[in-house]
Each structure stands twice: as structure tokens, then as C-alpha cells.
Amino acid sequence: MSIVIGGLQKSSLLDFPDKISAIVFTQGCNFHCGYCHNPELCTQNQKPVLTVPAFFDFLNTRKGKLDGVVITGGEPTLHNDLPEFIKKIKDNNFAVKLDTNGTNPDMLQKLINSDLIDYIAMDIKAPLEKYKYITEIDVDITKIQKSINLILNSGMDYEFRTTVVKSQLTVEDFDKIADMINGAKRYYLQKFQPSKTLDENFMRETTYTDEEFVCIIAKLKLKIQQVFLR
């Protein structure tokens, strides 16, 4: 199995709703978001911090103690053997949550059709026309919208989420995002925290105030069932 593990958090009470989980970080991402708080995971040519067999040895010691595994990154869907990796986790009776940027709807469809994931969290970076500006790459935005539609119609539990840097996203941008995910079950706004970033210039960036978020959330709730602030 060629999937590259770039990190492991042995226990979390927050990342998988209603479950105690381990978090496994895959190496490599096809975005280059300046605010990324896992910059060490962005490149794909790094050596793994943990082998796949060692990861499953760890899971074997956590049976009865953990409910699930969160697979995040980086971008997990870059790895072609992701379905095989997840199946082995599921065979060990752990639930699986997948974090994704939505650039690989074909992989998402395969995982959904194979009943391999229990929860999906998809990052919404911006309105579609701003994706290139946020991610600093040419994004096939038709794939982003396809992934959104797949998740909305999957019948699975899911969330969408956006990391909010004030200089990047206007109040009007949130109206456009609401249209993109209209009718969604759950959407999280994540306050940008300048603790560690891919681009050091973002250490000087800020997010909206709590009072400003109240107004943004009120508008989002006109089209989205549940909206939360992290």
C-alpha cells in the first residue's frame, strides 16, 4: 500500500461528531492555500512519519477505546489506494470520517458507492470564481461543484466548512457560498487562527469579529439548515 502517512493524532473528541477518534494525516495536497495550518503536509515527496503497517498496529491497540478514524491531510483523495486503506480500517470495525477539498469527485463517488465512509467534511474555500485566488492553482471548479452535489445527494452524514480570512472573503461571498451549498444540512465557519501558516504573510491576517459573524450566519441560515462558528 503506497499511501503516505504524514502524521497521527492518537485521540480526539472533537473531529468526528459523537465519536472518539484517531486522526491520520496523509501527505500531499494539490492546493496551496496561504493560510494552511499544516504546511508540512503540502508536498508529496516527504518521507512518511509512520508506515501503514505501524498505523494498523496502533489501531489494533485501540479497539474498544476508539470509535473511529478521521482521514485528513493534505488531501487524502490524491492517493489511489485510499479505498483499500479505508476498507482495512472498516474491517477493523472503526467508523471513518473523510476530510476533502472536493477536487476528486470520482474518488468520492467510489467511496460513497462502496459504503466505505460514514461522514464527509468538505472544505469550501470560496465562491467558485475565487478558488484560483485562494488556492493559488488553476482549479477545475466543475469538479468542486460535482463533489458538492454528490455529498448533498449521498444520504450520508456530512458537513461543509470554510476557513475565514477576512481579507479573502467578503460578506457577499458568503451569499454566493450559500447558493453553492443551498439546502445543506450543516456548515461550519472556522475562524482563521494565525498560529502556523504555509505563507508567513498570513501571520498578520485576521478574521471577522464575533459580532460580524452573527450577521453572516443569520444570512447563511436562510439557505442552510445549520450554521456554526468554530
C-alpha span between 82 and 84 (Å, rounded): 5
User: C-alpha grid cell for residue 48?
Assistant: 512518511
Residue (of 70, 183, 75, 165) closest to 125 by Cα position: 165
Residue-level pLDDT at 227: 98
What's the pTM value of the predicted model, to 2 decimals?
0.95
Using alpha carbons, list the distances in angstroms from residue 112 to 92, 103, 105: 19, 15, 10
With beta carbons less than 8 A apart as the criterion, state whether 189 and 230 touch: yes
CA 162 to mean position of chain CA atoms: 9
Residue-level pLDDT at 180: 97
C-alpha span between 210 and 212 (Å, rounded): 5
What is residue 132's three-state secondary structure? helix
Residue-level pLDDT at 157: 97
**CATH number for region 5-162:** 3.20.20.70
C-alpha span between 33 and 199 (Å, rounded): 8
Per-residue pLDDT 10s for the chain (230 aa) are: 689 999 999 999 999 999 999 999 999 999 999 999 888 888 776 778 899 999 999 999 999 999 999 999 999 999 999 999 999 999 999 999 999 999 999 999 999 999 999 999 999 999 999 999 999 999 999 999 999 999 999 999 999 999 999 999 999 999 999 999 999 999 999 999 988 888 888 899 999 999 999 999 999 999 999 999 99
Residue-level pLDDT at 79: 95
Domain ranges across the chain: 5-162
User: C-alpha grid cell for residue 107?
Assistant: 474518488
Does an H or E element contain 22, and which?
strand 21-26
Residue-level pLDDT at 172: 97
User: C-alpha grid cell for residue 229?
Assistant: 462558528
Residue-level pLDDT at 195: 85
User: C-alpha grid cell for residue 32?
Assistant: 496551496
